Structure formats: structure tokens, C-alpha cells
Amino acid sequence: MLNLYFEKSLVNRIFARLILVFGLIASLNLAAEVPANVQTIFENNGCTGCHSGNSPSGSLSLSDALTAEQQLIDINAVCNPALKRVVAGDPANSVLYRKVSMQNPGCGAAMPLNAEMISQADLAILYDWIVAIGPAGDFGLIEMQAPTISVSEMETTLSITVTRNLGSTGQVTVDYSVAAIDMDNATGGEDFVLQSDSISFAEGQTSQTISVTLIDDDQFEGAEVFTVTLNQANGGAVLGSQTQTKVTIEDDEVLNEPGTFLFSAVSYSVSESDDVLQVTVLRTFGAAGIVTVDINSSDISANANSDYVALMQTLSFDEGVKSQTVNLSLINDTAEESRETFNLTLTNPTNGAVVGNPSQVTVVINDDDGTEVVEEENEEPGEEPPSTNQTEAEYSAAGSVFYLNFILIFWGLLHLIRTQR
């Protein structure tokens, strides 16, 4: 009886351990899949053409998301066993990423073979996926919220948001710099304050801001650009693909200028039956102070006060006013004429304003009185073409004569035959 008890106890222990082993095996078999957007990149860029089937290139199959996950992450590259196909959290040392980003992979050729480089958007997805399966899953993926920002020069400070996605375990810090780099045209110390500092994310914190100081001046310089860059993440967090924000400073001196006058269109075309033509004059590149500009008409082939009412007017723009509309009257007549033209010109800007381009435009008046007359060749002028009824009568008469002649000829032949018998 005692032996039976021990045997049952042993069987139970063995059975429990088998369940544990099978559970571990099952958990290993339930491996994660690459995200759907990553698998889509493999499929849309032709990677599955070589890396699928019974004999995939490089013994790497990307035929489905589960297979891709199992054969990519922490797997030695066939062409160089010292390298990994994908190093979790480290795109720079992952052969896959180096191949598709056209870097020197240190292992075979770039991918896709004989095809165009995959898009920057797809590269960013691959980069962020590789980063996400590493420490960033716990401590965070740090990125700029926006790639570009515009700000008025009149603003004294600018806040730029930095995000922490995926994980938020523990406190992490991020080093950043504010400077003019590459093709940037802003000047540090004159347009903005140069910085090199860090921001800190507390446990669970997913957003932080960088404060940038702007410097206003009294010079007209146009738009100027500088860059805020995330340089390094500390405490286990990892930088994502979006590490820079380009800041455009919109110059405010333009608002202190009196302005430049120009027409809103380069030409106008109207029908003389339109009665009124509305012409808009714009005031651009500033709207400071009260300014005026003259608008006058001048004939080309149209005649003032016969085809249109002559225009000689001074337009006055109050502070901040950026456009005005002028109503020009057209004169409709009953004479048949070809199209006629005249000019409108802006002159004599005052109080510091200037005239821009277009400062002169042509107005085309299209005649709508006459109808085009098309005469038949060899037809006498004024001769009326035959009506349909006349033509049908003539055809009917001609047919009757032909029929009568046919009967007479037939009767004559018949008579001749009879007389010869």
C-alpha cells in the first residue's frame, strides 16, 4: 500500500514537471511576430521575392511575420557569423538595417537587390521597430514630437516637445543642443541663444519640453532656420529616428514696412456686357502706416469713355489694410467690333511704400454684339441658299421626267420589235 502511494506521488511529480516543460516549449513556440507594418515593408519592397520558399536566399525567410521574427532577431548572418541579422535595440549594428539603408553591411550586398532604395518612411519604421524590441521597450524611445516648427521673431521663447514612447520605467535624461547646422541660415547669439544642455524624464513621465530663447532685432532678414538636436539618451532610454526639429524664425520687420503695391492678377479678360470689372490691388511685405497709390487707365485699342469709363483714382490704405478693390465700368454698345484692350497702371506710392510686379496689367474686352457670317464659296453676297423644300421639289420633278423618258424609250423599242416580225 505504501509502495503504491509512493508510485502515485512519483507519477504526479513527473506529470507536473512534464506540464511545466510543455508549457515552456509552448511559450517558446508562441514567439512574437514582427509588426504588421514591418512585414508590409518586406512584401512591398520585393524582399519576399528572394527570401521565401524552400530555398530562400541566405537561408533567411521573410515569408510571414512569425517566420521573419524567428529568423531575424539575434540570429547570426550567414555571410558573416560575427554579425547579427537584427540586434535588438541597435539598428546601427543590425545587418538587416544596414543593408536596406544602403550602408556598408559588412556582409553581402545592399537590399533590395536591383531595386530602388526603400523610402525614408519605411526606413524609420524599421529603425523604430529594432529600437523598440531592445531596452526602449522598458525605458523609453525618445524623439522630437515635430520635425519642423515656425515661430515669429517677436516671440521671446519657444517650447519644443520631446516624447518618450514604448516604456517609461525609471528616470532617464536626454542631452540636446541648439545650433545652426548644415544649411541653416540663422546666427547663434544674434537670432537665438546657443544651448547645450539636458532634460530629465521622471518615472512614468512621457513628455518633456526644451525651452529655446529667441533674439529679436530691427533688421529685415527674411525667414531664418536653426536646429534643435537630441544627441544622447541616458538611463536605458534610446533615441528614435526623429532626433531633430528645424525651427524657422519668421521675420517681424516685414510687418513694420509700409508695403509693396501690385495687382492681384497679371491680366484681365471680360465681356463688354459685364458692365463692371473688379480689380484688386494688394499691399504686400508690410502694412505699417497710412499710404496711397494711384491707379490709372490708358488706351491701347479700346477707347476711354466709349468702351470703358476712364479711371484716374488715388487709393488710400490705412494702417494694417492689405488690399482694396476698384470697380471699373464698361460701356456696352451694339456695334460689331473685334476685341479691344487697355492698360491699368499703379504709380506714385507714398510714405515709403513701393510698387512691385505686376504694376501694369492689360484688360481685354471681348465683344458680344455681332454673329459671325460664313459665306459659301462662289455664292453671291446676299444670295439666300435654297430651302430644303425647294430642293426636294426639284429632285421630285427631275425624277418624274426621268421616269417619263424611260417609258417612251421602252415603248419605242417594243414597237420596233413588233414591226420587224
CATH number for position 351: 2.60.40.2030
Last residue of a domain, one of 252, 273, 306: 252
In a domain, 202, yes or no: yes
In a domain, 277, yes or no: yes
Position 120 pLDDT exceeds 90: no
Q: Do 41 and 23 lie in a common domain?
A: no
Q: What pLDDT shows up at residue 372? A: 37
In a domain, 419, yes or no: no
Is the torsion defined by CA of 150, 151, 153, 156 positive or negative?
negative
Position 107 pLDDT exceeds 60: yes
Mean pLDDT confidence for 384-399: 43
Peptide bond before residue 112 is cis, with ω within 30 degrees of 0: yes
Assign 273 a pLDDT band (cuts: 50, 70, 90).
confident
In whole angstroms, what is the distance from residue 351 CA to residue 290 CA?
Answer: 7
Choice between 414 and 193, residue whose per-residue pLDDT is larger? 193
Q: What pLDDT shows up at residue 367? A: 78
Lowest mean pLDDT among 62-76, 216-230, 288-302: 216-230
User: Alpha helix (H) ranges present in 92-245?
Assistant: 95-100, 120-132, 136-139
How many other β-carbons are positioned within 10 Å of the β-carbon of residue 180? 17
Last residue of a domain, one of 193, 223, 252: 252
Q: What pLDDT shows up at residue 12? A: 55
Q: Do 26 and 37 lie in a common domain?
A: no
Position 363 pLDDT exceeds 50: yes
Mean pLDDT confidence for 364-390: 50
pTM of whole model > 0.75?
no
Q: Do 238 and 322 lie in a common domain?
A: no
Mean pLDDT confidence for 261-287: 91
Lowest mean pLDDT among 91-95, 216-220, 251-255, 335-339: 251-255
Q: Do 112 and 150 lie in a common domain?
A: no
Nearest in space to 344 (alpha carbons), one of 308, 311, 305, 302: 311
User: Alpha helix (H) ranges present in 106-221?
Assistant: 120-132, 136-139
Bridge partners, residue 177, by sequence:
196, 229
Mean pLDDT confidence for 313-321: 92
Q: What pLDDT shows up at residue 14? A: 54
Q: Work out how many domains the chain is built from and give that number.
A: 4
Q: What pLDDT shows up at residue 285? A: 84
Q: Which helix (H) or strand (E) holds 150?
A: strand 148-152
Q: What pLDDT shows up at residue 383? A: 43
Last residue of a domain, one of 351, 366, 381: 366
Q: Do 97 and 170 lie in a common domain?
A: no
Q: Do 54 and 8 lie in a common domain?
A: no
In a domain, 194, yes or no: yes
In whole angstroms, what is the distance from residue 167 CA to residue 370 CA?
Answer: 79
Position 195 pLDDT exceeds 90: yes
In a domain, 222, yes or no: yes
In a domain, 228, yes or no: yes
Q: Do 166 and 269 lie in a common domain?
A: no
In whole angstroms, what is the distance from residue 247 CA to residue 160 CA?
Answer: 9
Q: What pLDDT shows up at residue 413? A: 58
The mean of the pLDDT values for the chain is 81
Position 25 pLDDT exceeds 60: no
Q: Do 174 and 247 lie in a common domain?
A: yes
Identify the domain containing residue 215 by its residue range: 138-252
Q: What pLDDT shows up at residue 393? A: 42
In a domain, 386, yes or no: no
Enumerate residues 6+ apart whose C-beta is below 8 A from 405.
none
Q: Do 17 and 62 lie in a common domain?
A: no
**% of the chain beyond a pLDDT of 90:** 46
Chain segment 26-65, per-residue pLDDT in tens = 443 444 688 899 999 888 888 888 888 888 888 899 989 8
Q: What pLDDT shows up at residue 365? A: 92
In a domain, 189, yes or no: yes
Q: Do 111 and 147 lie in a common domain?
A: no
Asked if residues 50 and 60 have their Cβ atoms less than 8 Å apart, the reply is no
Assign 310 a pLDDT band (cuts: 50, 70, 90).
very high
Q: Do 102 and 15 lie in a common domain?
A: no
Q: Do 146 and 243 lie in a common domain?
A: yes
Q: What pLDDT shows up at residue 256? A: 72
Choice between 23 and 325, residue whose per-residue pLDDT is larger? 325
Chain segment 152-180, per-residue pLDDT in tens = 888 899 999 999 998 999 999 999 999 99
